[in-house]
Copies of this chain bind each other. A is one copy, B any other.
């Protein structure tokens, strides 16, 4: 690891940001659609998913140019999912990361279409990347659609909505978060490793790692919703509670939630060790995500 984690994150954020803008800027499309797509991509995200793609790739491989289109596509899919989740018919959020949500900044119809456009464009970007072989493109597209579509993230969103206003067990909560958040994190980790030429065993252990990373991510979100600083997290503290959402602190108490997070961290790090990845940026990113304050 040649760089400190914060430099590594900043450098990769800059690379990804530049690449995403390149793909969006070149679109000769109606101005309103383009602005809405760019708006949510730019609106202050941590770009943690594409950074995980790159860190996973660099655990085993070199020349990270090969993995950038996958990182870009993933960030577009993540962004589309936020735009649609924020809609009045879904979570009805006016603020996201401290900025007005897409449908507030533009309008609902534009937000729906900007989401659809980002989702669709992500597959085109993979299909057009001259750095990938046809086999690699097909495998990445297969993984991306499977993790983000009806078997993955979209099911998580449906289950999350169904879980509102009625109690769920810890097992159900883990299943919802694994689908809603974990599947994209799993794609980030396994796609990067796949493109780097990691072994099937290594990818298998990283897949286990990503499962726990997703749960860490969510429990920390839930904790921040109770204890966080509204200015840092970019939305009002306590919004989960007022939405009557099932959360870790609600199910386990705050102490229980913190203990549960540590259980997930231990399991995540064990899996990293088995994947020969315990000297990579993935382990620093795990600590970073465990302790993040926004």
| Interfacial residues, chain A to chain B (CB-CB below 8 A) | 27-30, 32-34, 37, 80, 84, 87, 89-90, 103, 107-110, 112-113, 115-117, 119-121, 123-124, 126-128, 133-135, 137-139, 141-142, 144-146, 148-151, 154-155, 157-159, 161-162
* B-side contacts of A121, CB under 8 Å: 145, 149-150
Contact partner of A148 (CB less than 8 A), chosen from B27, B120, B127, is B120
Query: Please, how many angstroms separate the alpha-carbon atoms of A112 and B87 in the complex?
Result: 10
| Copies of this chain in the oligomer | 2
B162 touches A145 (CB 8 A): no
Known A123-B123, A146-B124; contact A151-B109, beta-carbon cutoff 8 A:
no
Known A87-B112, A127-B138, A138-B137; contact A145-B120, beta-carbon cutoff 8 A:
yes
Query: Please, how many angstroms separate the alpha-carbon atoms of A141 and B126 in the complex?
Result: 9
* B-side contacts of A155, CB under 8 Å: 29-30, 33
Known A120-B119, A121-B145, A158-B113; contact A134-B138, beta-carbon cutoff 8 A:
yes
Closest to A142 in B: B127
Instruction: Taking A123-B144, A124-B146 as given, write out 19 further A-B residue pairs in contact, using a Cβ cutoff of 8 Å, ordered by the A residue number.
Output: A28-B151, A30-B155, A30-B159, A33-B154, A34-B150, A80-B116, A84-B113, A89-B108, A115-B116, A116-B154, A120-B148, A120-B149, A124-B141, A124-B142, A124-B149, A134-B134, A134-B137, A134-B138, A137-B137
Contact partner of A127 (CB less than 8 A), chosen from B33, B87, B141, is B141
A158 touches B120 (CB 8 A): no
A37 touches B150 (CB 8 A): yes
Known A120-B148, A134-B135, A137-B134; contact A157-B113, beta-carbon cutoff 8 A:
yes
